[in-house]
Amino acid sequence: MSILPILTAPDPRLKAVSEPVSRVDDEIRKLVDDMLDSMYAEEGIGLAAIQIGVPKRVLVMDLAQKEGRRAPQAFINPRILWASDETTVVQEGCLSVPDIWEDVERPARITAEFLDRDGVLKTVDADGLLSTCLQHEMDHLNGVLFIDYLSKLKRSMALRKVQKARRLEAVS
């Protein structure tokens, strides 16, 4: 298992649309393990494969991480089957847009279908943080960042802040 660097905006690879996984094998399970290690190293609760430069429709999450526990989940080839008309606004952040937190409006509840790390087809009815996080990570698979939901002004301010922080890290 490896901790891999996480791409940050405005890296153009983050805008790529990820390809479906044809079969869940040891290579995909290793990818899932590496993604989890990378996510835990950055103290995140979700990560899409594209965020480590792998354009595959794979994402990992661990919402228990917020309580200091571990309950990792893998979602391979996830897709939303249903989304509620009711929406909710949640302040989101992203490992690829570090230190930026903004309100994003999304459907409050979804039903999603996915393959787990063993290749078993599953369905989940999600609300609350699970719904928000799944939608956020699934956006990554389509080349969409949460800042893409912001006004042009807020998005450009966020990107400038990320680039400034990156320049400061390079100097120190």
Query: Which of these ranges, 40-54, 71-85, 88-102, 147-161, has the smallest mean pLDDT?
Result: 147-161
Question: Is residue 104, in this structure, part of any structural domain at all?
Answer: no
> Which carries the bigger pLDDT value, residue 54 or residue 158?
54
Selecting among 19, 67, 92, 137, the annotated active-site residue is 137
Angle at 63 between CA 82 and CA 37, to 5 degrees: 115
Question: Is residue 45, in this structure, part of any structural domain at all?
Answer: yes
Tell me what the mean pLDDT of segment 151-165 comes to: 87
What is the tally of structural domains in the chain?
1
Question: Is residue 171, in this structure, part of any structural domain at all?
Answer: no
Question: Is residue 96, in this structure, part of any structural domain at all?
Answer: no
The residues with which 46 forms a beta bridge, in sequence order, are 61
Question: Is residue 133, in this structure, part of any structural domain at all?
Answer: yes
Q: Is 29 exposed, middle or buried (0-12, 13-18, 19+ CB in 10 A)?
A: middle
Q: What are phi and psi of 90, to 5 degrees?
A: -130, 140
For residues 48 and 13, give the distance between their C-alpha atoms in angstroms, rounded to a whole number: 12
Which tens digits make up the pLDDT trace of 106-142?
A: 999 999 999 999 999 999 999 999 999 999 999 999 9
Range of the domain at 67: 12-84+109-145
For residues 111 and 167, give the distance between their C-alpha atoms in angstroms, rounded to a whole number: 41
Question: Is residue 162, in this structure, part of any structural domain at all?
Answer: no
Print the SS3 string covering 30-94: HHHHHHHHHHHHCCCCEEEHHHHCCCECEEEECHHHHHCCCCCEEEEEEEEEEECCCEEEEEEEE
Say which DSSP state 19 is in: B
**Does pLDDT of 170 surpass 90?**
no
So what's the pLDDT on residue 56?
98
**Domain with 56 in it: what CATH number?**
3.90.45.10
Measure the CA dihedral 66/46/166/18, to 10°: 180
Question: Is residue 27, in this structure, part of any structural domain at all?
Answer: yes
Residue 137 is among the residues annotated as catalytic for this protein: yes
How big is the chain by its Cα radius of gyration, in Å? Answer: 16
Which tens digits make up the pLDDT trace of 39-78?
A: 999 999 999 999 999 999 999 999 998 788 999 999 999 9
Question: Is residue 54, in this structure, part of any structural domain at all?
Answer: yes
Residue 113 CB coordination number (10 Å): 15
Measure the CA dihedral 80/74/91/39, to 10°: -150
**Does pLDDT of 87 surpass 80?**
yes
So what's the pLDDT on residue 162?
84
